[in-house]
Copies of this chain bind each other. A is one copy, B any other.
Amino acid sequence: MDTDRKDIHNSDIPVLCRSCDARHKGMCGALDSAELVALSRHTRIVRHAAGDELAAESEPTESYANVMRGVVKLTKVLEDGRQQIVGLQFAPDFLGRLFARESAVTAEAASEVDLCRVPKGALERLVAANPRLEHRLMQQTLRELDEAREWMVTLGRKTAAEKVASFLYLIATHLDPSADANAKGRKFDLPLTRGDIADFLGLTLETVSRQLSRLRADKVIAITAVTRVEVADLERLRKRCG
């Protein structure tokens, strides 16, 4: 209690929110400090290990979340087990399908992940009361729709080689926001296994592995460890994306 009030007095912003990206680039940027304080009473930071299931397809969802660290994959499966990754979420993305009774996708931690969870009802009340928040979430939803459509081109019309290059390009440009955007090269850890990448690209893991080997042989990338990729020249990689 006492500390709570001191926090508010000190800065008007809850401790947990002070260094959170969601406040700058994510949905919390739409909230003033009073709303932030009110919301933070309901939120809970949770850490999940890679592989943890965060939400299941056709299961009721009882909370939304902001991704604070790590990568979350959204997947859908056919009855016979064929699987497709339909989205990847990076910090500070909002996680969850607003207003939906149940999730249309399975959400799984691709890497170790920190989430800032909010109970469904609490967020929906806040959205109803604050059009600016809904506007923010609308902007993200529109961006996700743009990305989904971009990816449909990749899935439907690109060759295996172009698909793998496109995936690497996506990761290189999304994963490390701290990297200098102008830098020619990038180094990063793949947040997905070969099998996951295959599920993202509509390929088999063998094909993914072969195409990675080919990109390495062609010196477009270096693979310094099984999950470690270095791109010396992003532009050369982009040329391979079709």
Residues of A whose CB lies within 8 Å of any CB of B are 74, 76, 78-80, 82-84, 86-87, 97-100, 104-105, 131, 134-135, 137-139, 141-142, 144-146, 148-153, 155-158, 199, 201-202, 242
Contacts and interface: CB of A to CB of B under 8 A. Distances in A.
Nearest to A148: B148
User: Interface centre among A134, A148, A158, by most B CB within 10 Å?
Assistant: A148
Contacts of A100: 142
B139 A141 contact: no
Contact of A149 (B76, B78, B156): B76
Give how many copies assemble into the complex.
2
Contacts of A98: 138, 142
A100 to B, nearest CB: 8
A84 B156 contact: yes
A76 B135 contact: no
A146 B84 contact: no
Contact of A157 (B78, B131, B144): B78
A158 B87 CA distance: 18
Contact of A202 (B83, B137, B155): B155
A156 B99 contact: no
A99 B201 CA distance: 30
Contacts of A144: 145
> Among A131, A150, A157, which residue has the most Cβ atoms of chain B within 10 A?
A157
Nearest to A97: B142
Given A138-B138, A141-B141, A201-B156, A149 B82 contact: no
A115 B19 CA distance: 47
Contacts of A82: 157-158, 242
A128 to B, nearest CB: 9
A221 to B, nearest CB: 22
Nearest to A241: B78
15 contacts: A76-B149, A78-B157, A82-B158, A84-B153, A97-B142, A99-B142, A100-B142, A104-B146, A104-B150, A105-B149, A138-B141, A141-B145, A148-B149, A151-B152, A156-B199
